[in-house]
């Protein structure tokens, strides 16, 4: 036996809240909203994870990081299950995660505005000078989840974590 007792799922969630997102390391996997469920099934811990974007290369790393973090805490019998439904949305990113993201220089997504092809462009404030005078450069930025903006006041280019 590696452990005398099974850690609670709340405890495990806390541990996973210390595992950084591979792309935006200031926020955790829990902040990102990809951990959908944590459940003991007998002696086996089942963690249900949903991918952000279908082709996001970080998905494999995320699973590996979860497993590594839990093994470091002495949990050996781990099953990571992928779920597609309900589909991940940026609305699941935590308030704490949004604050950290902004401080890091990435503008967090606006809540409740998951994109449709006819939705108006969101008003995105510059994370450096707070100006609303910004311009969308491209819907597709440094990763699939971000779009590129430029501030017309301080001229800084920056990322906006787009709604999906």
Partner 1 sequence: MKADSDLFEFLLRMGDNTLVLGHRVSEWCGHSPVLEEDIALANVALDLIGQTRMWLDFAGDVEGKGRDADALAFRRDVWDFRNILLVERPNGNFGDTLMRQFLFDAWYHAILSRLAGSSDDRIAAIAAKAVKEAAYHLERSADLVVRLGDGTTESHAKMQAALDDFWPYTGEMFAADTIDTSLTSRGVIPNLAEVRDEWDETVNRVLADATLEIPDGTYQHKGGKQGTHTEHLGHILTEMQFLQRAYPDASW
Expressed in angstroms, the distance from the first to the final Cα of the chain is 43
The answer to whether 114 contacts partner 1 (rule: CB under 8 A) is yes
Burial call 35-56: b when 16+ CB within 10 Å, e when fewer: bbebeeeeeebebebbbbeeeb
The answer to whether 141 contacts partner 1 (rule: CB under 8 A) is yes
Report the site for partner 1 in 3-62 (rule: CB under 8 A): 51, 53-57
> What are the DSSP calls for 73-125, one per residue?
TT---EEEEE--SSPP-GGGS-HHHHHHHHHHTEEPPPTT----TTPPPP---
Interface with partner 1 (CB under 8 A), residue from 138, 152, 153, 155: 138
The answer to whether 88 contacts partner 1 (rule: CB under 8 A) is yes
Pick the closer one to partner 1 by CB: 54 or 130. 54
How many Cα atoms sit within 13 Å of 125 on the Cβ side?
A: 9
Pick the closer one to partner 1 by CB: 27 or 58. 58
Q: How far from the centroid of its chain's Cα atoms is residue 124's Cα?
A: 19
Q: How far apart are CA 164 and CA 91, in angstroms?
A: 8
CB of 56 to partner 1, least distance (A): 7
The answer to whether 122 contacts partner 1 (rule: CB under 8 A) is no
Pick the closer one to partner 1 by CB: 28 or 147. 147
CB of 50 to partner 1, least distance (A): 9
Residues that bind partner 1 (CB under 8 A): 51, 53-57, 84-89, 114-117, 137-144, 148, 162, 164
């Amino acid at each position: 036996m590696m452990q005398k007792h099974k850690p609670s799922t709340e405890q495990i969630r806390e541990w996973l809240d210390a595992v950084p997102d591979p792309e935006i390391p200031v926020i955790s996997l829990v902040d990102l909203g990809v951990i959908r469920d944590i459940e003991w099934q007998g002696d086996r811990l089942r963690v249900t994870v949903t991918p952000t974007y279908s082709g996001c290369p970080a998905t494999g790393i995320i699973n590996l990081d979860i497993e590594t973090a839990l093994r470091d805490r002495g949990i050996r019998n781990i099953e990571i299950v992928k779920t597609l439904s309900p589909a991940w949305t940026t609305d699941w990113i935590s308030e704490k995660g949004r604050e950290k993201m902004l401080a890091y220089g990435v503008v967090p997504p606006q809540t409740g505005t998951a994109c449709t092809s006819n939705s108006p462009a969101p008003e995105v404030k510059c994370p450096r000078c707070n100006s609303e005078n910004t311009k969308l450069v491209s819907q597709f930025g440094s990763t699939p989840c971000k779009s590129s903006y430029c501030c017309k006041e301080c001229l800084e280019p920056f990322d906006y974590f787009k709604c999906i």
